């Protein structure tokens, strides 16, 4: 089996839902041992079931997407005994991942400033909604609305639309993962841990990229364009073929546009001064779009897509998620459970670095007894006493 980059690290995950657990999933795929500390009710996403799903051991599709390869211990941190168990784990840990509200972390006694002196080697990874000074809980859908994404993610005549995945959560997770990896690199040199913090708002605003820069650099006001791009045309534009099947093109430069027009058998369009350069095409998109649409409507879908690909013109079919998962390039990204029957999910990390043969997501408290007795050397009688008192599960 391949040597994994982080296989000697212990990660304690106090986070729930998506952003924080996604960081734990990244690290588990890279070889780290990740202990997911849940309350006695479990991560709420265990109950987020599709109508087609049947509850099975508290593992939903949503929970499954970011919890492969982890161990679950269920603790009630309101009890001193529960906090003591967590403190014993932190003595061994390299990384702690949290997504508490600032006041909740302090109330539990696990804010960074409360434990940093106890575990100077610990890297404390924290995701908040709006930063350490703001008590609001961060929810991806709300952040999509507040950051401008929903406004832009619509057609000019349509209503604002939320993206169909919690993309802000996932962007924040990548931000925090990057910070944690840099902190690990720094710890190799200094021997000291540190706090790494990321907010959903910060992640969302930075992800606005060129749309935000257009405001700051050019005093431009971004407006909804549907799938299209504000400064490139035709880029992200949908056209329909003879079968009324959608095809998306993403022309990035004048040479591509010239070749595109040759394929469509309208080379004169690329020579027209109105359309010969990208700035002119952007300026005259309302004139150019119907000219291209009329010609594309004459082509069969497969014939046109093949010709575009053969000539290195960026274009693609509009796939369903099922169709996308069936692409041959996706196969190496699938995590297959060696234990469960037919359980699969998508890996976050490249298969060249990651373990794609991880155990399936854990049941709530599945590893509580193992961790207490085999890792922390609790007597069985102590384990049973804690369980009977409702402190662990």
Active-site residues: which are they?
169
Residues 57, 35 contacting (CB under 8 angstroms): no
Q: Where are the alpha helices (DSSP H) in 55-97?
A: 61-64, 80-92
CB atoms within 10 A of CB 137: 14
Write the DSSP symbol of residue 362: P
Residues 49, 55 contacting (CB under 8 angstroms): yes
Q: Are strands 95-98 and 70-74 parallel, antiparallel or unpaired?
A: unpaired
End-to-end Cα spacing for the chain: 33
C-alpha distance from residue 269 to each of 10, 263, 284, 306 (Å): 61, 12, 12, 22
* Calpha distance 281→250 (Å, rounded): 13
* Calpha distance 356→346 (Å, rounded): 9
Polymer length in residues for the chain: 393
Residues 174, 127 contacting (CB under 8 angstroms): no
């Amino acid at each position: 089996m391949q040597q994994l980059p982080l296989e000697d690290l212990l990660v304690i995950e106090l986070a729930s839902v998506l952003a924080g657990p996604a960081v734990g999933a990244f690290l588990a795929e890279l070889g780290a041992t990740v202990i997911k500390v849940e309350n006695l009710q479990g991560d709420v996403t265990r109950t987020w079931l599709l109508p087609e799903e049947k509850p099975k051991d508290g593992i939903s599709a949503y929970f499954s997407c970011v919890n492969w390869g982890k161990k679950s211990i269920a603790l009630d941190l309101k009890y001193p005994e529960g906090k003591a168990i967590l403190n014993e784990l932190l003595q061994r840990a390299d990384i702690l991942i949290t997504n508490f509200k600032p006041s909740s972390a302090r109330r539990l006694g696990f804010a960074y400033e409360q434990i940093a002196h106890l575990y100077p080697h610990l890297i404390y990874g924290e995701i908040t909604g709006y930063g350490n000074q703001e008590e609001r809980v961060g929810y991806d859908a709300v952040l999509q609305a507040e950051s401008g994404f929903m406004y832009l993610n619509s057609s000019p005549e349509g209503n604002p639309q939320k993206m169909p995945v919690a993309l802000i959560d996932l962007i924040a997770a990548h931000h925090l993962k990057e910070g944690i990896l840099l902190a690990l690199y720094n710890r190799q040199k200094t021997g000291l841990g540190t706090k790494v913090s990321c907010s959903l708002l910060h992640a969302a605003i930075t992800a606005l990229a060129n749309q935000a820069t257009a405001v700051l650099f050019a005093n431009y006001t971004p407006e909804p364009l549907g799938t299209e791009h504000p400064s490139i045309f035709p880029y992200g534009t949908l056209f329909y073929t003879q079968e009324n099947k959608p095809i998306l093109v993403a022309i990035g430069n004048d040479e591509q546009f010239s070749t595109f027009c040759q394929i469509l058998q309208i080379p004169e369009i690329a020579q027209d001064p109105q359309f010969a350069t990208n700035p002119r095409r952007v300026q005259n998109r309302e004139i150019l779009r119907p000219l291209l649409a009329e010609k594309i409507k004459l082509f069969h879908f497969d014939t046109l897509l093949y010709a575009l690909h053969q000539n290195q013109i960026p274009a693609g079919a509009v796939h369903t998620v099922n169709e996308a998962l069936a692409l041959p390039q996706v196969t190496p990204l699938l995590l297959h459970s060696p234990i469960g029957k037919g359980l699969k999910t998508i890996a976050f990390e490249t298969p060249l670095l990651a373990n794609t043969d991880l155990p399936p997501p854990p049941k709530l408290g599945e590893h509580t007894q193992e961790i207490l007795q085999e890792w922390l050397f609790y007597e069985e009688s102590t384990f049973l006493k804690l369980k009977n008192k409702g402190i662990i599960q």
